[in-house]
Amino acid sequence: MSRIALLATATVGLALLGAVPATAAQASTTDTTVTCSPFALRAGLSTKVCVEVTGDSVELYGQIALAGPPSPGYPIPVKDLTTTLTGNVVGGASLGHLVKPVRFQATTTQVRGVGGTVPCGSTVHAEFTSAEFGSPSGPVTLDVPVTC
């Protein structure tokens, strides 16, 4: 390889290396952070609530999963649940309230549909319940600061 070709290759390589930090810095301004509550047993299932934060935008979701592996030889559980997902800015506006029937069939299921834009520095309160008919269920809750 000639000296000119080697010098040109090295120059292009250095230019590309210089571009990487700028790209990485731009990506960090729109990162999404997901925070979830510890799971709780509700209606015999593992239930938790999560908050996704991207800048000043938040989306809440509840998640339902099996509490453990199914027992061999037993049918996979099918449960008809009523779920409720609620969110608000602590001391401020509501982010929504969603009541949704869900048929759980052993596959991890998410319930979404509550969220919005919140002021930087505020705290979001999320609450999720899942209950079978005739079995009251307490909520799982989570408070997440939105730092932007």
Express each pLDDT in 104-125 by its tens digit. 998 999 999 999 999 999 999 9
* Per-residue pLDDT at 59: 98
Q: Look at 60 and 1; give whichever has higher pLDDT.
A: 60
Mean pLDDT computed over 69-74: 82
CB atoms within 10 A of CB 99: 11
- Whole-model pTM over 0.85: no
Angstrom CA distances, 113 to 54, 86, 106, stand at: 16, 9, 22
Mean pLDDT computed over 40-67: 93
Residue 20 above 60 pLDDT? Answer: no
